[in-house]
A and B are shown apart, each in its own frame.
Chain A
Amino acid sequence: MNLRVFLTLWRRELSSSFASPVGYIVLAAVLLMLGVSFTLITDALAKPSDIPLTELFYGSLFFWVILLLSTPIITMRTFAGERATGTYENLMTTPVGDAEVVFGKFAGSLTFFLILWLPLIPCLLAVRHYTNDPSSLDWGAVASTHLGIASLGALYVAMGIFSSALTRNQIIAAIVGLALGVTLFLVSFNAAALAGPGAWPAAILREFSLVDQMWEFSRGIVDVRHLVFHLSLAAVFLFLTLKVVEARRWK
């Protein structure tokens, strides 16, 4: 793994997100949704409650809309777009390893995804400022929420990169990525259907519940099992992407 090449590709991937109209549309849409959820938080604060602000935000479900929709759009360009314009041929005929290409694109997309979430911090700070209640914003909970965003984000970006590597059509890449993401999100909802006394399939499916996992993160609970689950699944998708890229050299 050549670190210098990896950093070059990372920078290129990130800066091209900011050079494309798609990147700005995603940024604007996420900003809008964060803004709407901000007004919902202030509404919720009108009633007395002891729920952390981060959990209030998370409860608005905008989190899932942003995670599920933005990641396939951010990542669809990575491989599919480059293959469609032909610059992929330029890239793959330079002396760079396949691993650098995959990780560079992954790191660039994940960085852009994390930048999308930065406006959440000023939103929370604003609420904290006007409520004058120091307990309403627990820095630990803010940190664990962002940790959850980052680890779930890594998983979803890895899935998006994988679907982008499968095709040369960006629309197909985005749809496949969205389908994978929604499937993973919905798997745990089947638990209810399988529920019953001694129903072990239901118990297993409940462990896949991204909703429950993220809920814990938003309350300030960092469960290493969830981190391992997200990051190992992300590693699996990156490995598959690498194999897809390598296989293309063979055929």
Chain B
Amino acid sequence: MEEAPVIEVSHLTRHFGRVTAVEDLSFTVGPCEIVGFLGPNGAGKSTTMRILAGFLPASSGTARIAGFDVFHESIEVRRRIGYMPENNPLPTDMRVREYLKFRARLKGLHGETCRERVDVVLDLCGLREVGRRIIGTLSKGYRQRVGLADALVHDPPLLILDEPTIGLDPNQIRSLRQLIKDLGQRRSVLLSSHILSEVEMTCTRVLIMHRGRVRAAGTTADLQKAMSDGNQVVAEICAPEEDLRECWESMHEITAFNISPCSGDFFRCALTAANGTDLRDRVFDEARNRGWRLRELTFTRHSLEDIFVHLTRTERPEE
């Protein structure tokens, strides 16, 4: 996969007055990658996306899409992206098909190709039966699909979707997620979200942003590995507390443990191992050898949520 990156951002900074929304941001997105921008509200996700879509200029730094500078060659960049802004603003007075046709024409399609593409995206986004409805009368889910259909209508090699699943119900989120995954097979997708599970399930790569900076980047698996120091084995064992304490202290892999009583005569032991090693078989052997009764044995991996919370909860370094 030695292809040129679709998005190339280097040292991008954007100030709004005294507020710095994006600070020294650098990343790349390759072809057919689905990259998720994750961060709490106000992390700079939307600002970055607006800069990439050519709606806002950067204060410093550069961003290139398919080799074109987003500021100096804005028209070329806009030809190659399908952008869905935050909150997906749509004119409420137009019909769905009419709106998509209008948008397709603005994006340079006309005549037969225009009609064909509008039909394709109507089908793709499940909008066929509401094509004649006025957008203002549609539900949130349908409006979101109209926004997505608009972003797709000129078949761009890159989709930039700002919070595409906001305001949708779980079923709609599920179907939209599948749709984005399918779309990502043939094109690159950059999407933002503050919902972790969504990014975890759809994206091949994640960029965690906080206060305008990328705090962590990599595949979900990479991030979990990086955080593996915190992996724990949880075991519920029926044994005297002193024996348990003595046993865990004797195992040199265990760097920390915590024993708390729970229902019955059982104790809940949370064992943290060095390098995040999975200690389940060792714990089981130990329990069998000593004749302890074991009723639960779990290996807790850090979810993206823990990583997210860990990275974004930290206090502001300066000021």
Q: Which residues of A pack against B, CB within 8 Å? A: 4-5, 8-9, 12, 16, 19-20, 85-87, 89-97, 249-251
Contact = CB atoms under 8 A, between A and B. Distances in A.
B27 interface: no
Instruction: Tell me if A's interface is mostly helix, strand, loop or mixed.
Output: helix
B146 to A, nearest CB: 11
A19 B93 CA distance: 6
Contacts of B105: 4-5, 8
Contacts of A86: 85, 87, 89
Contacts of B79: 95
Contacts of A89: 50, 55, 85, 89
Given A19-B94, A20-B93, A87-B89, A93 B106 contact: no
A94 B103 contact: yes
Contact of A95 (B57, B75, B89, B90): B75
Contacts of B107: 94-95
Contacts, number: 63
Interface residues of B, number: 28
A111 to B, nearest CB: 17
A64 B305 CA distance: 65
17 contacts: A4-B110, A8-B105, A85-B91, A86-B85, A86-B89, A89-B55, A89-B89, A90-B89, A93-B54, A93-B55, A93-B83, A94-B78, A94-B106, A95-B106, A96-B106, A249-B57, A251-B57
Contact of A249 (B74, B94, B110): B74
B55 A16 contact: no
Contacts of A87: 89-91
A94 B109 CA distance: 12
B53 interface: yes
Contact of A16 (B75, B83, B85, B91): B91
Interface string B66-107: 000000001110110101010101111110000000110111
